[in-house]
Structure 1
Amino acid sequence: MADKPQKGIKRRDLIKASITTVGAATALSANTIPVAAQTSSSTEAASGKGTVYTGETIQGKKVVSALDVNDLEPGRRHQLYFQGVQMRTGEHWYVSVIAARGANPGKRVVLTSGVHGDEMSSVHTVMTVMNQLNPAQMSGTVMAVTDISRPAMLAIQRKWPNSSRSIDLIDMNRVWPGNESGTAPDRHAALVFNRLLRPNADAAIDFHTGTTGFEVSAFNIADMDVPEVKAMADLYPVSQILDMPQHAFPTTLHNALLAAGVPAICPEVGAARALDLPMIAQFVEGTMNVLKQHGIIVGPMGRTGKEVRVFIGRGAVPIVATEGGFLEHLVELNDKVEAGQKIAIQRNSFGEVVAEYTSSVTGEISGLRTDVMSEPGDNLAFILFDKPVPNGEDTYQE
């Protein structure tokens, strides 16, 4: 069957149309324990003026409603709960915080995961990095937040199931830096951003994976026009980088941090709902390189982008289903493709081919649908490409 034309997308819309960057898993914590309401004193720490303890503990860990890592004892590893958004029952959603405060002063790097609730390799990556750190031998601080969107993680699904004002599913990576007067996920994002992440970050790395039913290659999303951001992205031994300018998608966490003056990147670590240990190792190696670059830990650099072939995509295009049926890919992740190359076919329940899909660009495969069945509008593939930019703006041709 002849291809139906695919609509082009401009660069600023490419992530929305295609890649569903991605979170992780932990359980809902101790809702039976009484929790103090957020107080106005918490606003002080939003400006980096201090830590606010609620007076409560959960599973033996102290609860804070605002944090300044400089208040923590040097040379030690600290485990805390951050008091997030309050729900209609009066209870709060909590966020797990691990802080390795070095014995000596230095830079502060924040590692985050769990913005989407079905992203497991991202959480495991952060945990692995933190378990390799020895605060007694560090300069500066590494703070990790592994479960930002806990309601989504409880359901092991991408989006926050919000019912505070209407029944809806909210993508937490489309609401940053949040709004303390908005819906529950908006309020939660604002609290986490203003009272936990931004005050403690000289640099940040927000880890994701592909979403349920759609896997991605090992790649980084980064605004390569920002020197500090490029320096971080280049330290990862991964094969692809999506060069996404900050203004293209300002409501993702890493871009919101960048807008607030914190150099940040977004690694993508494979498929959702599973652990890809070999791919995780690549991102652990790259993250340890970043910590060495910032002088937080010492030691020889591991592999970087200089040791692997890195394809930098200045644009991206999705392949979108035009029919319903059973999908069969003709390419694999990281494959090079040419414009006009057939990359997938689709069959109906009689086994007849109802659609064939071709690439509209020359580039590399960075994402593929893993759910075999699909319907019109589903993303089937995600292709990174590089080409001259006419008149200073990328245009995605049909």
Structure 2
Amino acid sequence: MGAFCVADVSADEPDPALDRRHFLIAAGASAALIVGAGGTRAQAQATPPASNSGTTYTGDVIDGKRVVSALDVNDLEPGSVHRLYFRGVEAPTGQHWLVSVTVARGASPGKRLVLTSGVHGDEMSSIHTVQTVMNQLDPAAMSGTVTAVTDVSRPALESMQRRWPNSGRGIDLTDMNREWPGNENGPTAAGRHAWLLFNRLLRPNADYAIDFHTGTTGFGVTGFNIGEMRIPEIRAMMELYPVSQIADNPAYPGVLHNAFIDAGIPSFCPEVGAARGLDAELIALFVEGTMNVLKHHGILAGPMGRTGADVRVFVGNASFPVLATAGGLVEYLVKLNDPVEAGQKIAIQRDSFGEVAAEYESGVSGEVLGLRSDAMAEPGNPLAFVLFAEPGPREPETYPE
């Protein structure tokens, strides 16, 4: 199909005041979006300068991989792949959570790109996307460096659950993608872990960053990118992916890609389909797009693959939530990526007797961005999100997850 944007709401000319090197812009998010694209947020605390202290080795070696508590990729041998462990926050036992770090340092100098995944522990396709990209790199032919961290939230990944199990008052569950850039002396282990990773591993080694996610357990999403298209460098990267949707939308505060942006590092968030499994078709599209980003920044040479110019891309700046008003089994009348009209019936819910308990319509015209994948729902559960073009600014609203 030919390339076109159904609802591209970005300005024709970028506002120079939105250049992240000069000031902070509005927050971004993961799969659930804020309704309005307008508005900016104040940074809760000043961001400390990136560390220039170099790499710190702890002296530990695990399975032949050295452990670091701080990393400067310039200390690593050019033209090689380096696999390390980074020492994060301590667990209740007093042992440290270790995260896996793969660095492909090119033979020639160039831009530095950081790829992250595993901020949520149930997002497998995002992890496999980053792993696949790294396995395709040949540092001897690269100019610049790519650093990958695929298990940011280690304790969540250990049980394939979305949130970090925090032993504060019994076991709390902390969403690590509301903790960035972290707090060195904060009240949660997840927040302290975020501070360590962001300030001693990620930010000091990034000129650009991409934080990969998927939908969450029980709720699937399409393959789409979310980020601030008003920022030219971010828009250029998002449009290099041959995926069907772009959410030009700031969302929840505290997400990782916004912490990068606040630190002057252009960043956005790809969403690679549903949680818990591997979607080979979507993974391939996001690998292709990420390789395009590497070529765009001169880290790799060679022709571009398919981009957004080669596929039909729907661009919206807001997401309409359809929430359950009853309990029961849900039958969907639409699929992911389907176009819908305002007032169109999209789901029927039946109670335990099989009688219709509720019917649900879209309140806007747009495209289906996400659908609940669990067959049962109770009042308040999101059943669907419809990506659409909001014609004017409105107050930000966060959605239940």
TM over 0.5: yes
Alignment partner, residue 384 of structure 1: 387
| Worse-superposed segment, 311-320 or 118-127 | 311-320
Deviation at 1:18, TM superposition (A): 4.0
Alignment partner, residue 179 of structure 2: 175
Asked if structure 2 preserves the Cα contact closer than 8 Å seen for 1:45 and 1:195, the reply is: no
Alignment partner, residue 100 of structure 2: 96
Q: Deviations over 1:106-163 (max 9, x none)?
A: 0000000000000100000000000000000000000000000010000101000111
The secondary structure found in structure 2 opposite 1:258 is: helix
Find out whether 1:295 has 2:298 as its counterpart.
yes
TM value normalised by structure 1: 0.87
- Change in Cα spacing, 1:354 to 1:164, as seen in structure 2 (3 Å) is same
Alignment partner, residue 263 of structure 2: 260
Deviation at 1:87, TM superposition (A): 2.5
Find out whether 1:205 has 2:214 as its counterpart.
no
Find out whether 1:196 has 2:201 as its counterpart.
yes
Find out whether 1:311 has 2:314 as its counterpart.
yes
Looking at structure 2, the residues matched to 13 and 296 of structure 1 have their Cα atoms a distance apart, in angstroms, of 28
Find out whether 1:331 has 2:334 as its counterpart.
yes
Deviation at 1:336, TM superposition (A): 0.5
Find out whether 1:107 has 2:72 as its counterpart.
no
Looking at structure 1, the residues matched to 77 and 294 of structure 2 have their Cα atoms a distance apart, in angstroms, of 20
Query: What does residue range 93-242 of structure 1 map to in structure 2 within 5 Å?
Result: 93-182=97-186, 183-242=188-247
Looking at structure 2, the residues matched to 77 and 291 of structure 1 have their Cα atoms a distance apart, in angstroms, of 16
Deviation at 1:164, TM superposition (A): 3.5
Looking at structure 2, the residues matched to 344 and 369 of structure 1 have their Cα atoms a distance apart, in angstroms, of 11
Q: Which amino acid aligns with 1:88?
A: P
Q: Deviations over 1:246-268 (max 9, x none)?
A: xx433110011111111001000
Identity of aligned residues (%): 67
Aligned residues: 358
Deviation at 1:49, TM superposition (A): 2.6
Alignment partner, residue 50 of structure 1: 54
Q: Which amino acid aligns with 1:298?
A: A
TM value normalised by structure 2: 0.86
Query: What does residue range 35-74 of structure 1 map to in structure 2 within 5 Å?
Result: 46-74=50-78
Deviation at 1:17, TM superposition (A): 9.8
Cα RMSD after superposing both structures = 1.9
Find out whether 1:272 has 2:275 as its counterpart.
yes
The secondary structure found in structure 1 opposite 2:126 is: helix
Asked if structure 2 preserves the Cα contact closer than 8 Å seen for 1:14 and 1:316, the reply is: no
Deviation at 1:14, TM superposition (A): 10
- Which structure 1 segments of 5+ residues have no match? 1-11, 21-43
Alignment partner, residue 6 of structure 2: none
Deviation at 1:88, TM superposition (A): 3.2
Asked if structure 2 preserves the Cα contact closer than 8 Å seen for 1:18 and 1:379, the reply is: no
- Change in Cα spacing, 1:264 to 1:13, as seen in structure 2 (3 Å) is closer
Looking at structure 2, the residues matched to 348 and 239 of structure 1 have their Cα atoms a distance apart, in angstroms, of 35
Deviation at 1:394, TM superposition (A): 6.2
Looking at structure 1, the residues matched to 296 and 158 of structure 2 have their Cα atoms a distance apart, in angstroms, of 35
Asked if structure 1 preserves the Cα contact closer than 8 Å seen for 2:31 and 2:215, the reply is: no
Asked if structure 1 preserves the Cα contact closer than 8 Å seen for 2:346 and 2:362, the reply is: yes
- Change in Cα spacing, 1:45 to 1:387, as seen in structure 2 (3 Å) is closer
Q: Which amino acid aligns with 1:304?
A: T
* Divergent runs of 4+, >2 A: 12-20, 164-167, 392-396
